[in-house]
Amino acid sequence: MTYNTSIESVSPEGVIYYLFGATGDLARRKLFPALFSLYKEGKLSENFAVVGLARRPRTNEQFRSDLYDSINEFCRYKADDLNMWNRFAEHFVYMSLDINDVEGFKALDALSSELDEQFAIPGNRLFYLALAPSLFGPVSFNMRDGGMLQSKGWHRLVIEKPFGYDLPSAQELNKQLNQVFKEEEIFRIDHYLGKEMVQNIQVLRFSNSFFEPLWNNKHIASVQITLSETVGVEDRGGYYDKSGALRDMGQNHMIQMLSMIAMEPPSRLVGEDIRDEKVKVLRSLRNYTSSDDVRNNVIRGQYSAGKFGDKALLGYREEDSVDDSSTTETYFSAKVMIDNFRWAGVPFYIRTGKRLPVKTTEVVIEFKPVANNILFGTKHDLAPNLLVIRVNPMEGIYIKLNAKKPGSDNEVQPVNMEFCQSCLVGINTPEAYERLINDAAHGDSTYFTRWDEVSHAWAFVDKIAQAWREESSDLQFYPAGSWGPTAADELLAKDGFHWWPVNGQEEDNVIWITNSR
């Protein structure tokens, strides 16, 4: 089954994409397949070029061979049409570049002029920096000094996370970029915002009359956001040991999903209005006021040796490039409060971690229960209603409600009514990077993070990081393959809640009514 997506066509005026870090893992796994999918679906006109940039020497033929291998391994489409593949590949060229040498950027500018003429591109430039954040500023300065920003068309900069290490470093990085690019030209990518079901949150809320009236503290008891991974740090031990789960996942993905759930309806469906509402949520986050406040509301853990099935798993401190006395967290969960009229008193519980038993990203909206002293509540332990939004790896939505058990005398049982998006679109669901690259080419910044979003998020997590630096004894260990420290369960239990099963791991007595079966 093919998938009809609403992604618009790239502007027919054309653009040159510059991929800095073109020999790296991100380009191979995500960026090259995204560009091929856009081309395959007719969303890239013939008026484009891609310049791969990295330090190592490579010919155009070698670069295109790597491109071919990347697409056939990671893309949802295969390069099985030779004529189409040749047309696509001829738009790709490679240039070895020392990013610290401004003369190299002058040579790149000369190459760009040739590509403009060859592919009828009117000077539009999209720079994608798949590089370490410390290089964003120097590369931007050399692009400017090398003449790359003097073309007549538009210029846009796409940068990956992490955007800094904390608020001061992010402010310095932003200051550097603003010397070269305007804020509206900077696209800070968070690939979770490109996922179909994250973007579907707005549609769910604002196009269904039976959700929005209930989307407040009068009807919702709690919200849970889970982003769990089964993998360990693998070959990223050196990076991860300086980052940890809080900075790697919490400051960006988790807080972004929280703001999408909690935002007010925007006045218009345009990027700036939507991001304005997200910023209002971030401004309303209740900051932790002390180290004790952090310990009472935030749990941090690190995986120790454990098992996944019959497979033995190393502890974090045994992984390559990890300090054997490291206190870096591989797991954290937190109770977050939003102090505004809509959400006052509703706890948001967030958790993320490595070496957990299930890979999933889910949002669970738990509604307040019906009164237990009237009607069915007097005879039955009624389960609360849930709205569950599955973001990854399966995409979809299900609603958990109570219904009469067939053949019984008013016996009540839980029923799950499910819409399984992945079951409908299969492997042809668009990847997040396709959407975001195309949006950047259109100048649509809706699903990119604005500077004030980044700064508020850093200000929030910096309070947690500071408390952890002051007190390291609160690090808790959990066996690899488990659901994290037991204190994370206690965090919810003291409020009368528990973590809901994820990824369809429901109780045996729940009946599923689904479009996938």
Contacts of 408 (CB under 8 A, 6+ apart): none
CB 392 within 8 A of CB 249: no
Give 50's DSSP letter. Answer: E
User: Position 407: which residue type?
Assistant: G
- Alpha helices by DSSP H, listed for 148-290, are 167-178, 196-206, 237-240, 244-245, 255-262, 271-284
Q: For 449, which DSSP code?
A: E
Q: How far apart are CA 379 and CA 228, in angstroms?
A: 37
Cβ neighbours, 10 Å, residue 335: 19
8 A C-beta contact, residue 22 and residue 444: no
| CA torsion through residues 47, 53, 57, 63, sign | negative
Residue 181 per-residue DSSP state: S
Annotated active-site residue in 91, 155, 191, 253: 253
Angle between helix axes 167-178 and 451-470 (nearest 10 degrees) is: 150
* Six-digit token string for 416: 């799950």
253 is known as an active-site residue: yes
| Token pair of 118 as six digits | 């060859």
**With contact defined as beta carbons under 8 Å apart, do 398 and 495 qualify?**
no
Residue with tokens 């009809």: 4
Q: Which residue has the tokens 């300086």?
A: 242
Q: Is 13:112 a contact under the CB 8 Å cutoff?
A: no
**Longest alpha-carbon distance in the chain:** 83
The values of phi and psi at residue 488, to 5°, are -70, -35
For residue 77, give the nearest of 17, 34, 25 by alpha carbon: 34
Q: How far apart (Å, rounded) are the C-alpha atoms in residues 456 and 323?
A: 31
DSSP 338: B
Tallying the residues shown for the chain, one arrives at 517
For 122, counting Cβ atoms within 10 Å of its Cβ (0-12 exposed, 13-18 middle, 19+ buried), the class is middle
Query: Using N-to-C axis directions, what is the helix angle for 32-40 and 432-442, rounded to 10°?
Result: 70
Tell whether omega for the bond before 162 is within 30 degrees of 0, i.e. cis.
yes
CA distance 493 to 507: 19
Distance CA 480, CA 505 (A): 19
Q: Indicate which residues carry an active-site annotation.
A: 253
